[in-house]
Structures are given as structure tokens and as C-alpha cells.
Amino acid sequence: MEGTQDVIGYVTASLRHFMTKATSEADLPVDLSIEEATGEIARAIGLPEVDLENRVQRYELFVRRPNGTAEHLNPSARVGDAIAPNDLVEPLPEVTPGRPAR
């Protein structure tokens, strides 16, 4: 992750591409918001920027912990508070309730 200044530390997490299931490790700046981290992660692993209808594709960040639990991360939380070392982090397409599937 580039461009972040005044970073106090990083947390090392595994990133998973939801389409290919390929994983890689990344050092995530602890002071980024989950929303900021989601955008950077999506770009870094090459997720599509638009959906099938050419609309901007937004992503939500989910984490799977080594103990088997999983959760959706609040966009306003900080990486350092929400992600622990060795967590598996996966951005998934944002789902809008009530919008018909195509």
C-alpha cells in the first residue's frame, strides 16, 4: 500500500481475491479506515472497477479469523482495531438490499 504518511505501524494480513480465490500477504497501515483500506486492496488485487452494467462497483471488507469466525468490517473502523495479524481479508461486492438481481 503506497501513499500513506505518518504511519505508526502495519498489520500483516492475507488478502483473498473473491473470484479467483488467490491469496497474497500485505502489510496494511494501521491508521487507515476500513473504507480506505478496501479501496486500496481492491485496486491492488485487480478487482473490477465497474459492474456488468458499467456502474461503479463498490466493495465491502470481510475478515476471516484463524479461530474460524468471520465478520463484515465497519467502514469507519481503523485497520489497527479491526484486523489482526494472520487474518484473511476479502473485499466482496457491495450488495444493496431491494435492488433486483440481473
**How many domains are there within the chain?**
1
Closest CA to 40 of 21, 61, 19, 54: 61
Q: Examine the pLDDT at 2 and tell me if it is beyond 50.
A: no
Closest CA to 79 of 24, 22, 44, 27: 27
- Specify if 99 maps to a domain: no
Q: Return the minimum-mean-pLDDT range out of 60-64, 85-89, 96-100.
A: 96-100
- Specify if 98 maps to a domain: no
Q: What is the CATH number of the domain that holds 34?
A: 3.10.20.90
Q: Examine the pLDDT at 68 and tell me if it is beyond 50.
A: yes
To the nearest whole number, what is the mean pLDDT of the chain?
A: 88
- Specify if 66 maps to a domain: yes
- Specify if 56 maps to a domain: yes
Give the structural domain span for 58: 10-93
